[in-house]
Every structure is written in structure tokens, then in C-alpha cells.
Chains A and B, each alone.
Chain A
Amino acid sequence: GAGVSQSPSNKVTEKGKDVELRCDPISGHTALYWYRQSLGQGLEFLIYFQGNSAPDKSGLPSDRFSAERTGGSVSTLTIQRTQQEDSAVYLCASSLSPRTGELFFGEGSRLTVL
């Protein structure tokens, strides 16, 4: 498909385990974003990649969270030593460029930490 692809769509893990969430953006989109959506809450910005620039990590809630984007395309969000409060839907979005404004979101990865 031509949209943003995220995997896994659902992940259940035990407290203390590490998880990796993957995002495959729309081809040609230079900007990639990760957001977190908790039940009944808004969209919380986590991290932003733009081309070869240093990522904007200002939204990462703790040093247990990290993300990388390889080759300017696929991105992986890693959560180490997961806690129950990490349970949420993790949404990835991409855009053609920051100047166009429109973000295209994937369907998200629902993480449940038991």
C-alpha cells in the first residue's frame, strides 16, 4: 500500500521487557514523527526526524525511550524496561516536507504492558 505502515499492530509484553515498534513511511517523505496516544488522551509528540538533520527528541518521556531512522526511511521506536504507564497506541506519521504541513499517520501500534 501507499500509506504509512506500522508493525506490530498489537503488542502485549511483560513489565521490564524491551519492545521495538517499526514504522515504514510513505516513499519520498522526508519527515517522520512518532506520537503517543493514551486512552482518552490527546496525541503526545515524542520525536521528529527530518532528512539528515539531528532528530528533535524533545518529547521523549524518559531515557528508556529511543528511536532511530535508518537510511532516511524506516524508523524503529525502542522502549526499554517497559512500565505499565507505557501502555498506549504509538502512532507514526510522515510528511513530504515540514513546509507542507500535512502529516500522514499510520494506524498505530497498540502496546499493552502487563
Chain B
Amino acid sequence: QQQVKQSPQSLIVQKGGIPIINCAYENTAFDYFPWYQQFPGKGPALLIAIRPDVSEKKEGRFTISFNKSAKQFSLHIMDSQPGDSATYFCAASGREYNQGGKLIFGQGTELSVKP
């Protein structure tokens, strides 16, 4: 119940394409779903996050879609650029579950955007 399953493991798209990364969870106590972006040699950094009271959130070229009934959420990157090449992690946490801010991370998706 603590797992967050992420797919695909790797993804290659052409510049301008729309990569989609999917995550699924089991624990219905989760109520916060962030995405983190990690460049080689750096720590992950928060990209965008959503709470389950909305089904979609957009920030610039990045969109999270959230399906509460299916316990799934996904990241879409519009008009992808080579500079978006990085590893992306979905995560989940549940304050109401007394987990504080502890995040459970997915396995990561290595995205490569070709020029």
C-alpha cells in the first residue's frame, strides 16, 4: 500500500513532442502528489504538484492529470525541449495518514528529448 508505481522507465521523444509519464498508487490516504525533476549530478527539484480536489493542474508547459477513482496521475510535457531531458519522479504523501511530509517516490522515468 506504500508503493507508487511509475511508467515508463525510459522515454525518448522528438523536440516538440508530448511525453506522458504515468503513476499509480494504492493508499487512499495519500492526498498530495508532486512531480520532481532531476538533472544528472543534482538533487531532485519540485516541478509541479496536485492535491486530489482537482483533476488537472497546469504550470507552463507541464500538466498533471489526476484520476482519483482510478488512483492514477500523470505528467504531460507540452512542446518538449532538449532542456527537458532529465529524470522525472512522481511521489505521494498523506498528511492525514500521520506521515508528515514523507514522500513515497516512484521508480523514475529517464526522459530524452531529441533535437
Interchain CB contact under 8 A, A45 and B43: no
A56 pairs with B102, CB closer than 8 A: yes
Please state if A42 and B6 are interface contacts (CB–CB under 8 Å).
Answer: yes
- By beta carbon, the residue of chain A nearest B105 is A43
CA distance A33 to B32 in the complex (A): 17
Also in contact, A45 and B44, with CB within 8 A (given A101-B49, A101-B93): no
The count of chain B contact residues (Cβ–Cβ below 8 Å) is 24
Contact B46 A43 (CB under 8 A): no
The reply to whether A103 and B105 contact each other, CB–CB distance below 8 Å, is no
Q: Does B115 interact with chain A (Cβ within 8 Å)?
A: no
A44 to B104, CA, bound (A): 8
Q: How many inter-chain residue pairs (CB < 8 Å) link A and B?
A: 67
Across-interface contacts of A91 in B (CB, < 8 A): 43-44
Asked if B101 is at the interface (CB within 8 A of a chain A CB), the reply is yes
> A68 — which chain B residues lie within 8 A by C-beta?
none
Docked complex Cα distance between A4 and B44 (Å): 12
User: What is the CA–CA distance of A33 and B105 in the complex, to the nearest angstrom?
Assistant: 13
A42–B102 CB distance below 8 A: no
Given contacts A43-B91, A43-B108, A101-B101, 14 further A-B contacts (CB under 8 A): A4-B43, A35-B105, A43-B89, A43-B105, A45-B102, A50-B101, A95-B101, A97-B101, A98-B101, A99-B95, A99-B101, A103-B101, A105-B43, A106-B43
A residues contacting B by CB (< 8 A) are 4, 31, 33, 35, 41-45, 48, 50, 56, 91, 93, 95, 97-108
